[in-house]
Amino acid sequence: MTADPVTASSAAPGAEYADTASAAYQAALQVIESVEPRIAAATRKELADQRDSLKLIASENYASPAVLLTMGTWLSDKYAEGTIGHRFYAGCQNVDVVESVAAEHARELFGAPYAYAQPHSGIDANLVAFWAILATRVEAPGLAELGAKHVNDLSEADWESLRNKLGNQRLLGMSLDAGGHLTHGFRPNISGKMFHQRSYGTDPETGLLDYDKLAAAAREFKPLILVGGYSAYPRRVNFAKLREIADEVGATLMVDMAHFAGLVAGKVFTGDENPVPFAHVTTTTTHKSLRGPRGGLVLAQPEYSDAVDKGCPMVLGGPLSHVMAAKAVALAEARQPSFQAYAQRVADNAKSLAEGFLNRGARLVTGGTDNHIVLLDVTSFGLTGRQAESALLDAGVVTNRNSIPADPNGAWYTSGIRFGTPALTTRGFGAAEFDRVAELVVDVLNNTQPTQASSGPSKAKYTLADGTAERIHAASAEMLAANPLYPGLTL
């Protein structure tokens, strides 16, 4: 396989560009090294580590050199609280251009009437969305007084008072073990403190969403906000059905598409599987499958745009202008036809990875995938997710442990490993390589033994059979060498 077209076209279309990119990074690292050599060394080592490992974390990817270089500029030096044309600082005319271009690309890419490019992360984007919905739909006397307190200074009594002042508003989101995210109402997260929260799960037999049960839960609970989207659900979602449920109970439909935004942008998810036309508010990160810088976006229907536009200073601090610039570059890349081809390969490769696991007797949550995520139940190997994650890392396979439905090991040790295909697809991996990846993963897990104790810290301990790590490293090195990361870039 050849390197991904977007990465290849921006990293090494020819020797001239490769030399230019190398010179830029070499010069930057020399400047950094003159001040703090340990940081320069860690940066070089990170590139070496990423080049030499199988990156299978579903929420990670590789941004193009153009995106990465955009972040390292003096745009970082400018305060620009407020929004386009309405800043609390003077001299923001260039930031206005940057933010306008990022928002324009986001609107055009996703077909959204409004886009907000300021959120620093996906969690920030969700907070902006929550408060914008509350501001649009709820009048809460005395809210400003409580809101003036720092979040860390709010006691449980304060939170109870805040919920009461908000009318004890209700939020219904996917449970953590079913594949939802901690910002979808998980109690230790601020979303679980802001709202009277309840979760919906998946069918205990199939692991799939049951829309009839979800509708029944919404009718009984009557939430103000119905949250769609997921962090570890390996299937597509019918957002038209979610909108029908939200409309029936008078809820605002908010969709968090942070994980699968690249599949929406790349036209893999269309029709009822594209959340943007159905959600009142849609949030996303700009990294993960979208392959941009670490950051967030909020897309909204017109009735919510004014409130979202007040994200700073309502929730956010000063916009990261250099990151907004990098978002604009990444979104411009995603509007190219080559990105649609990439997104389709991401989904196709996930199916190949899933089939590779199933052909070797592994157990998958929902029995497969039709997005970019594969969720492996490692209990059949006699392991916890923590043990499996660590053993795989020893062998150069970078993953993350993840809860599975009704997880007996809880959210820390877990019983699952989540795999994602965006990063290695960027490197050029195809069906054959992902089948080989499945073989290597199963090899590691078959050669990992847990400690005898079944509870406490021992749930993290394991032994990896002698020679396994070396064998897996050698096998993966061949695939990695054939699909180089940032080809032509030398440090």
Question: SS3 of 117, please?
Answer: coil
Annotated catalytic residue within 183, 252, 284, 285: 285
Question: CA–CA distance from 37 to each of 32, 74, 275, 353 (Å)?
Answer: 7, 21, 46, 40
Question: Could you tell me the two tokens for 258?
Answer: 């942070």
Using DSSP bridges, classify how beta strands 252-256 and 225-229 pair: parallel, antiparallel or unpaired: parallel
Annotated catalytic residue within 17, 79, 360, 471: 79
Annotated catalytic residue within 294, 310, 401, 427: 294
> Torsion angle, CA of 311/316/320/321, rounded to 10 degrees?
30
| 256 has catalytic annotation | yes
| 288 has catalytic annotation | yes
Question: Could you tell me the two tokens for 32?
Answer: 């950094």
Cβ(389)–Cβ(309) below 8 Å = no
Q: CA 375, 379, 384, 390 torsion: positive or negative?
A: negative
Annotated catalytic residue within 4, 99, 124, 256: 256
Which stretches of 13-76 are DSSP H helices? 15-35, 37-51, 65-71
Cis link prior to 204 (omega < 30° from 0)?
no
| 285 has catalytic annotation | yes
Cβ(275)–Cβ(228) below 8 Å = yes
Annotated catalytic residue within 81, 348, 439, 443: 81
| 108 has catalytic annotation | no
Annotated catalytic residue within 78, 165, 235, 288: 288
| 248 has catalytic annotation | no
| 33 has catalytic annotation | no
Tell me the Cα Rg of the chain. Answer: 23
CA distance 290 to 403: 24
| Active site amino acids | 79, 81, 256, 285, 288, 294
